[in-house]
Amino acid sequence: GAVVSQHPSWVICKSGTSVKIECRSLDFQATTMFWYRQFPKQSLMLMATSNEGSKATYEQGVEKDKFLINHASLTLSTLTVTSAHPEDSSFYICSARDDLRKNTGELFFGEGSRLTVL
């Protein structure tokens, strides 16, 4: 149980285009999901907290208009990198918290999505 699926696992796009990454909780409901960015050999950097039915909460320094987050249902959050540039190339990972086990504070992670912007 507690599987989080991310899609696509890797994507290559041209500079100036937009890319959408999906994060799905497959066997549980998640009102809250988190989006992270990870640079090579570094730890995860929290970008934003995605809340179902309301606006995402962005961390300081993260551009809201660049990284659009939509949490349309209790099992799906999407991250759209708009007008992508080479510096947006990175590994993006999502995590989710099981609503029924929210008090445990346990996080479940997707497999990550590697974005390369040419």
**Residues in touch with other proteins (CB under 8 A):** 4, 6, 34, 41-44, 46, 91, 93, 95, 104-112, 114
Name which of 85 and 102 has its Cβ closer to other proteins: 102
CB 70 to other proteins: min, Å: 21
CB 101 to other proteins: min, Å: 10
Q: How many angstroms separate the CA atoms of 82 and 67, rounded?
A: 6
Q: How many angstroms separate the CA atoms of 60 and 31, rounded?
A: 22
CB 93 to other proteins: min, Å: 5
Name which of 39 and 83 has its Cβ closer to other proteins: 39
CB 46 to other proteins: min, Å: 7
**What pairs with residue 16 in β-bridges?**
none
Name which of 38 and 82 has its Cβ closer to other proteins: 38
Residues 6+ apart with CB under 8 A from 18: 80, 81, 82, 83, 84
Q: How many angstroms separate the CA atoms of 79 and 69, rounded?
A: 5
